[in-house]
Amino acid sequence: MVDIPTDAQTNRQVVRKRAEAKTIEPDSAITLVTVSIDEPDMETPRGDIDRLREALAKEAGIETLATDPVLLPRVQTILRKGHWTVTAAIHTDISSVPIMVALWPGEKQAVYGLAVDIGSTTIAAHLCNLQNGRTVSSAGTSNPQIRFGEDLMSRVSYVQMNPAKLPNLVKAVREAINALVGKLVGDVGAERADVLDATFVGNPVMHHLFLGIDPVELGGAPFALAASDAMILTARDLDLDLNPGARVYMLPCIAGHVGADAAAATLSESPYSLDETTLLVDVGTNAEIVLGNKNRLLAASSPTGPAFEGAEISSGQRAAPGAIERIRIDKDTLEPRFKVIGVDEWSDEEGFSEKIDSVGVTGICGSGIIEAVAEMYLAGLITEDGVIDGSMAAKTHRVRSEGRTFSYVIAEDGIEISILQTDIRAIQLAKGALYAGIKLLQDKLGTDHIDRIRFAGAFGSYIEPKYAMILGLIPDCALDGVSGVGNAAGTGARMALLNRGYRREIEETVHKIEKIETALEPKFQEHFVNAMALPNKVDPFINLRAAVELPEPKTPVEAEGTGDGRRRRRRRG
């Protein structure tokens, strides 16, 4: 099911991308300096801006100060308006001497920065006060590039087929950001001209498209990034409608499939500063995986496909009102109960049936799928190989024959919502790919032991660790060591916005991080095949088994077919 989110759906989703409450010590690239200078006189005929530059440099304790050319036409008016007292915004970071980028008459109290996470589906932006580091407003919008392709690869294909349309994709994302900025500054009664700095993160394709770079090289091996290092640009280089002198810091990309969003999430969780071994996973169409500790850090991506986001699932949909997001199956009755986004009550609770009328049950989202498959496994409805056990049809009308395979019906008032064998296969493929990628990094790191597992991203915030582990989506770990960390990429973007130390930190980390290309690893296939089983064909999952009683391995009754080509038989009759 491919669904283009409406604004309402998107906004609902976006609520999940709220800025986390992390405290960031401010040390931004923008310094405000107020100075008073002498009026010009004929004895010292030096340019107003040059006298100002010198006074600012002295006041700020810096040697050389450059001037953004955008100030040239405006400096004399501003100086006179402020009666020779003005406040300058000075940008100080790599790639340049300190530079005066904005100027106001008199004193200026607050200037803002923008931290943006450009997701392929959703763009989330935070407006932060650069002086005190507070996030003053957050907002999100759907990525309008969706009209050129639902997922990353379809957008890359679109550009490949229509190279002349590249500017349209670039313009679409920049305009969406400009609109977001309007909303953010409006929320706090500020102006666009008050926004002096911005940081951007995104996966490599989003990163490139935002920069105006053709992403076609990212569409095939060797997945060559045009640019990966951190860089500083001006807002006007990117047609961003901020202060004309505003600067932009692009966080570095890690590899062709491990973007600046993964770098930002890594910055947010800083596994490189811990003794414990952390696994950081951002689940999307490509799962981005970072594993390690202060001694060593590795990164990879794994092509999970969009199943975890509800795509390629027969009743799948994005996380939006009407989507089943939680599900429990009674082991005795095999009856399901579930929770729908937009309704607080579970389906078997009082009040549900009244409230559901206004929302409807429209599908099942990523976290719902995961719980459904895990619960079906726990209830004995599917085997450890992921086959829906047709013999269970004798015990419940919810297991139904679908020709050569079986399905399990969750809801059938209104739209029928079922888990089909193909849905389970899609989830198995996705989680198998993810697990195999993680496993490769574990091999490289030389340990199976993981202390902490952190799920980044909206999806990660809503899946319950237990179910992810039962499914074998993540490796075994003490359950209390697993948690969602929300929009860690957005948090990392805010950190890099508010404190330059974090910029250097992530630049160094990205240089040092060991990049593993899963496609080049001979053991990937073996890990992948083992990881198709629930939770895994070979790995013991000791922590999990101590917490949850997993069913005994069972041999399925063979139905008309199992969906597995090798075992497929001719249909009789």
| Residue 543: C-alpha distances to residues 377, 452, 453, 476 (Å) | 18, 13, 13, 6
Please tell me whether residue 97 binds its own copies under the rule CB under 8 A: yes
Residues 203-222 that bind its own copies (CB under 8 A): 211-214, 217, 221-222
Please tell me whether residue 498 binds its own copies under the rule CB under 8 A: no
List 206's β-bridge partners, or say none: none
Q: How many residues in the shown chain lie near its own copies by CB under 8 A?
A: 53
Using DSSP bridges, classify how beta strands 99-105 and 66-67 pair: parallel, antiparallel or unpaired: parallel
Distance CA 181, CA 179 (A): 5
3-class DSSP string for 346-368: ECCCCCHHHHHHHHCCCEECHHH
* Residue 222 CB neighbour total at 10 angstroms: 10
Please tell me whether residue 287 binds its own copies under the rule CB under 8 A: no
Please list, in sequence order, all residues whose beta carbon lies within 8 angstroms of the beta carbon of residue 194, skipping any fewer than 6 positions away. Answer: 110, 111, 112, 185, 243
Nearest approach, Cβ of residue 354 and its own copies (Å): 54
Q: Which of 179, 231, 409, 550 binds its own copies (CB under 8 A)?
A: 231
Q: In what order do the strands lie in the sheet with 399-402?
A: 399-402, 405-411, 417-420
Q: Which of 22, 515, 537, 554 binds its own copies (CB under 8 A)?
A: 515
Closer residue to its own copies, CB minimum distance, 73 or 189: 73
Please tell me whether residue 62 binds its own copies under the rule CB under 8 A: no
Nearest approach, Cβ of residue 52 and its own copies (Å): 10
Q: Which of 6, 76, 109, 273 binds its own copies (CB under 8 A)?
A: 76
Please tell me whether residue 100 binds its own copies under the rule CB under 8 A: no
Vertex 513, ends 525 and 215: CA angle to 5°?
Answer: 70
Q: Which of 75, 100, 290, 498 binds its own copies (CB under 8 A)?
A: 75
Q: Contact letters (x/-) for its own copies, 238-277, by CB under 8 A?
A: ---------------xxxx-x-------------------
Q: Which of 19, 177, 181, 225 binds its own copies (CB under 8 A)?
A: 225
The window from 36-44, 122-130, 194-202, 531-539 that contacts its own copies (CB under 8 A) reads: 36-44
Q: In what order do the strands lie in the sheet with 122-129?
A: 135-142, 122-129, 112-118, 195-202, 247-250, 231-234
Nearest approach, Cβ of residue 74 and its own copies (Å): 9
Distance CA 140, CA 221 (A): 33
Closer residue to its own copies, CB minimum distance, 77 or 162: 77
Which CB contacts under 8 angstroms, 24+ apart, belong to 393-396? 395/334, 396/333, 396/334, 396/335
Q: Which of 237, 239, 335, 413 binds its own copies (CB under 8 A)?
A: 237
Nearest approach, Cβ of residue 419 and its own copies (Å): 36
Please tell me whether residue 40 binds its own copies under the rule CB under 8 A: yes
Q: Which tokens sit at 229?
A: 């290092």
Please tell me whether residue 226 binds its own copies under the rule CB under 8 A: yes
* Residue 277 CB neighbour total at 10 angstroms: 23
Closer residue to its own copies, CB minimum distance, 40 or 342: 40
Nearest approach, Cβ of residue 268 and its own copies (Å): 22
Please list, in sequence order, all residues whose beta carbon lies within 8 angstroms of the beta carbon of residue 428, skipping any fewer than 6 positions away. Answer: 386, 532, 534
Binding site for its own copies (CB under 8 A): 39-50, 53, 64, 66-67, 69, 72-73, 75-77, 94-97, 211-214, 217, 221-229, 231, 233-234, 237, 253-256, 258, 515, 517, 519-520
